[in-house]
Structure 1
């Protein structure tokens, strides 16, 4: 019996037949390459489109600069809203394996259609020269159908793949548990490898060989990733779906409303209902200690005569303390999540206005004839991330630990705050560069030049600063949401953390729309005209810098208010 105990995992995972997972045959690092490969290829495909998509819309679909920027922002935002769908399906019905598999296939279908729309006569826009292209309504519709199929596909992959990789390591096994944190490092590394290839090789192919090849290569890569993912099926450990967190939260809200007249004792948490067993009534979750904020929802855990508990309570009338605290924990995360929206808007400029800014500058290396695609500058963002991750882990954390005594050097909230500060300097850098660029335009009358004689490499600092900010804020946010999420809602909270990117894209669209409408009154060209030499893009960057400062101030207040969750008991 003892031998069998050591042979199988103790975290509830099963193999692909539904039997308890054999530790010697499943999981750990032998299963992870298939998962990491899938994520790397998916990110390569995504960034291979996202990085240069603004110029595709502008030069091939013949869209106005502001329209192209907004369309990219809207699509990018949708890619980070759809994970809510994927997380719900994975947690409630299909599990992570089948969710990743199904949505990866949808992704490949979308990529294939996008490739066809850029390469097949009749589907691709008709071009009269390099930049003089026009797309029909049908051609544009096929392109956007493909892009939004891809957005749906990524929605099933993003919220599941990191958690699915973590599922391959048994928390009850100390040896395996040590490797779980290493998996997250390699996971983040694989994302940046995909981004690095996309922002260098694929962007060059799109600009110099053709969009058919530029979209076709990631389509083939994604197809290979799907085959690879299925190839590892017999090695995977799978967590069974644990039920709908959305339903549980609705139960708390409904039960609280039904008992709106019930008074909750001010200091008598023991009067609230909880199961007598050591484990929580929620599968896959530890019990949570009662907290004093959001007292209205405590009414859901108050026992009244009409509850008539016999064998089990009706969860639509009476909820456990843990179920109530699960909802409270999600609510407490929402303000922190909201503070990431402006940050995501700043980061989103790399694929929109940074790209348009770079397209007006000298794209040659020295006196050579080799041209650098403006979208390739995002490679410095990726290199910045790859540079700062080991610097943070190997130098900053040990140094900070000596002063703070905190095991991580600084808390996740402090880490996120530092990233917000750095993002302000990124916007200031972009604004100052645009000021200098416009000074050169006015001084030398460069208004009609497609590329003014100012090197595009002056953009490197703003890309590098955003990469540094991401290492602090984005990774800090991922860790924070994972640790503070109730055990049974980690997929949902992972998806929620991704929505900041979506909302940031939508905020960018809103700001560009408002700025364009206001700044073009009385016949003016506005801040963001087709020819940026006549515009004031610097004003938009200053606007984002001011919003970032205000956002930081609100974040500091909320971080000071935040109450950490308090788990009790054991995991079922």
Structure 2
């Protein structure tokens, strides 16, 4: 007789037994995703082949377009994943089976370096990642009962640490593998980690609490008048959050291409080394861990003494700071155009500003969305937030598409590209102020008493 799955949390005042499996799975999966993502534009512009095996790289503009289309798919598909998990399969089955699709996509990237292999691999990864994203953090919360609720914050801390540990290590290692050993090993190592992540998750199947799907009841409760009203109300805020993500995700695309043109050699007390262009973005992972406590304990209280700092005001400030980061990028690009070559260290102020904006926007939005949603809509509202990331990447992709010259270059060349996005982010705040003022936060359906999850961000810090 087959062993039955747990359908409710174990009654204990200790850490749920399934948490280590979730954390281990997340660390390995994030290593795969961010390592693969870190080298995408470099692979497309330097290593891509045609079917004969000859090099057939993309232009910078083309690579940036496809990079953002991939990001768009990754963050748009969670809407489907949330519905599949909550209505049909449940979170465990959704994460496990779609992880197998993810593994297949990673393997395809490792063995086929043509445009066909790139398209097929990224499509499978987008399906896999999209199915997993809305389920994982909610699966952490499902493991806790009334007796161990006080340990949920610690579990989310481990979960958050696993995201950052996996992304930081992979962003440092995978570009080096690409440079020294080529794309097969560079994509192959993340593929192995993704297979390991799926195996770890499967090993914990009898340790997890499996919340059953609710079938048609899910659609009745989620897409009724009250549910749709909530989604529409949150969408008025997330439209502006999409602008932030149109800037932030350029750290993995356009900023990498900019770093490729810069001097990346260092000499520290006689120790000489060169940083790869795709490794520079690892700075974000370090800065975000420094900035989170810095903002929570010093920056936010200091601002709050000047004017009341609400979640919506944090988002507005974040948009202004993100726009300022792109002013730095525009200045760097102007120096490169003038052949003055500033060192890559000049990207550090831009990374500091965009990371500060990330803390203000991304983490605030996740917590805000979670607290605004009733229990049965938390996965869908998180998916709606992820859709704002998708929309931001679509904005950037369309800018590349509509400004492309016949030879594959961009009409928005040099500093003008970054100035455009700086103006977009800073300028939209003029409209956001009125929208945020009109927004009326409401208690979740029926006054949901579910405690808010500690703030998480999926970006590489990084959704």
Answer whether contact 1:431 1:541 (CA < 8 A) is retained: yes
Give 3-state SS (helix, strand or coil) of 1:36's partner.
helix
Residue 446 of structure 2 is matched in structure 1 by 568
Give 3-state SS (helix, strand or coil) of 2:429's partner.
helix
- Give 1:394 shift: 3.3
Residue 385 of structure 1 is matched in structure 2 by 288
- Give 1:19 shift: 5.2
Residue 132 of structure 1 is matched in structure 2 by none
Instruction: Say if 2:138 is the partner of 1:163.
Output: yes
1:197 to 154, 169, 172: 169
Equivalence map 1:549-560=2 (5 Å) = 549-560=426-437
Instruction: Say if 2:155 is the partner of 1:183.
Output: yes
Answer whether contact 1:16 1:237 (CA < 8 A) is retained: no
Label 1:483 to 1:569 Cα distance change in 2 as closer, same or farther (>3 A).
closer
2:310 to 411, 424, 428: 411
Residue 347 of structure 1 is matched in structure 2 by 248
Residue 509 of structure 1 is matched in structure 2 by 397
- Give 1:537 shift: 2.0
- Give 1:20 shift: 4.4
Label 1:564 to 1:525 Cα distance change in 2 as closer, same or farther (>3 A).
closer
Distance (whole Å) between structure 2 residues aligned to residue 161 and residue 20 of structure 1: 17
Give 3-state SS (helix, strand or coil) of 2:384's partner.
helix
Unpaired runs of 5+ in structure 2? 49-56, 451-463
Instruction: Say if 2:424 is the partner of 1:541.
Output: no
Instruction: Say if 2:354 is the partner of 1:466.
Output: yes
Deviation sequence 1:208-245 (CA, Å, 0-9, x none): 22211111111111111111111222221122223458
Answer whether contact 1:418 1:469 (CA < 8 A) is retained: yes
2:321 to 422, 429, 436: 422
Label 1:351 to 1:29 Cα distance change in 2 as closer, same or farther (>3 A).
same
Residue 321 of structure 1 is matched in structure 2 by none
Residue 48 of structure 1 is matched in structure 2 by 35
What TM-score does the superposition give when structure 2 sets the normalisation length? 0.87
Distance (whole Å) between structure 2 residues aligned to residue 73 and residue 31 of structure 1: 35
Label 1:415 to 1:188 Cα distance change in 2 as closer, same or farther (>3 A).
farther
Distance (whole Å) between structure 2 residues aligned to residue 214 and residue 348 of structure 1: 21
Answer whether contact 1:482 1:490 (CA < 8 A) is retained: yes
Give 3-state SS (helix, strand or coil) of 2:274's partner.
coil
- Give 1:424 shift: 1.2
- Give 1:68 shift: 1.0
Label 1:87 to 1:415 Cα distance change in 2 as closer, same or farther (>3 A).
same
- Give 1:250 shift: 8.8
Label 1:512 to 1:232 Cα distance change in 2 as closer, same or farther (>3 A).
same
Answer whether contact 2:62 2:400 (CA < 8 A) is retained: no
Label 1:345 to 1:513 Cα distance change in 2 as closer, same or farther (>3 A).
same
Answer whether contact 2:74 2:126 (CA < 8 A) is retained: yes
Deviation sequence 1:163-209 (CA, Å, 0-9, x none): 10011122x33xx2222233333333322212211221111111222
Deviation sequence 1:450-472 (CA, Å, 0-9, x none): xxx53222111112221121111
Deviation sequence 1:300-356 (CA, Å, 0-9, x none): xxxxxxxxxxxxxxxxxxxxxxxx322211110111111111111101211221111
Equivalence map 1:178-327=2 (5 Å) = 178-243=150-215, 247-248=219-220, 252=224, 324-327=225-228
Label 1:525 to 1:141 Cα distance change in 2 as closer, same or farther (>3 A).
closer
Label 1:244 to 1:151 Cα distance change in 2 as closer, same or farther (>3 A).
farther
Residue 70 of structure 2 is matched in structure 1 by 75
Distance (whole Å) between structure 1 residues aligned to residue 119 and residue 400 of structure 2: 21
Answer whether contact 1:41 1:222 (CA < 8 A) is retained: yes
The higher-RCO structure (CA 8 Å, 6+ apart) is 2
Label 1:524 to 1:491 Cα distance change in 2 as closer, same or farther (>3 A).
closer
Answer whether contact 1:336 1:558 (CA < 8 A) is retained: yes
Distance (whole Å) between structure 1 residues aligned to residue 288 and residue 260 of structure 2: 24
- Give 1:47 shift: 1.1
Label 1:370 to 1:331 Cα distance change in 2 as closer, same or farther (>3 A).
same
Label 1:201 to 1:525 Cα distance change in 2 as closer, same or farther (>3 A).
closer
Distance (whole Å) between structure 2 residues aligned to residue 107 and residue 525 of structure 1: 32
RMSD between superposed Cα atoms in Å = 2.6
Residue 134 of structure 1 is matched in structure 2 by none
Distance (whole Å) between structure 2 residues aligned to residue 430 and residue 417 of structure 1: 21
Label 1:58 to 1:16 Cα distance change in 2 as closer, same or farther (>3 A).
farther
Label 1:249 to 1:31 Cα distance change in 2 as closer, same or farther (>3 A).
closer
**Number of equivalences:** 437
Distance (whole Å) between structure 2 residues aligned to residue 143 and residue 19 of structure 1: 40
Residue 22 of structure 1 is matched in structure 2 by 10
Answer whether contact 2:31 2:190 (CA < 8 A) is retained: yes
Distance (whole Å) between structure 2 residues aligned to residue 524 and residue 224 of structure 1: 39
1:116 to 111, 124, 141: 111
- Give 1:398 shift: 5.4
Distance (whole Å) between structure 2 residues aligned to residue 363 and residue 56 of structure 1: 19
Residue 461 of structure 2 is matched in structure 1 by none
Distance (whole Å) between structure 1 residues aligned to residue 284 and residue 387 of structure 2: 21
Unpaired runs of 5+ in structure 1? 1-14, 118-123, 125-138, 253-323, 442-452, 529-535
